[in-house]
Structure 1
Amino acid sequence: MAYLLTAVMTGGVAALMSLFEGHAIGQIALNYIVYGHLGMATLVLATVAARRFDRKKTR
């Protein structure tokens, strides 16, 4: 669920910025899709890195 919400928020911000800059509807949709996926990828990378470098684990 967090991945979906991250996509909606990051894509939404990119779409709003494009809207305020006066871009066409196609560019707004493209920014929403592209930056939404980049936001999800960033969250996945942060999650994997947090699990990989967890200092609380005892070996």
Structure 2
Amino acid sequence: MAYILTAIMSGGIAAILALFAGETWGQIFFSYVIYGHLGIATLAVAQMAANLFDRRGDPQD
């Protein structure tokens, strides 16, 4: 669920900024899709890093 919300929020902000900048509808949609996927990728990398750092502190492993 967090991945979907991150995609919607980051893509939505990029689309709104493109809309205010006066871009065409294609560019607005492109910004929404591209930055939505970048938001998902950022969240995935952060999740993997958090899991790595969390495991590193566990003395049982």
TM-score (norm 2): 0.91
Task: Map 1:12-23 to 2 at 5 A.
Answer: 12-23=12-23
Shift of 1:30: 0.2
Percent of residue pairs identical:
54
Runs of 4+ in 1 over 4 A off after TM superposition: none
Shift of 1:53: 1.0
Structure 1: gaps of 5 or more residues: none
For residues 3-50 of structure 1, the C-alpha deviation after alignment (integer angstroms, 9 at most, x for no partner) is 000000000000000000000000000000000000000000000000
* Structure with the greater alpha carbon radius of gyration: 2
SS at match of 1:11: helix
Structure 2: gaps of 5 or more residues: none
TM-score (norm 1): 0.94
Q: Distance in 2 between matches of 1:15 and 1:49?
A: 28
SS at match of 1:53: helix
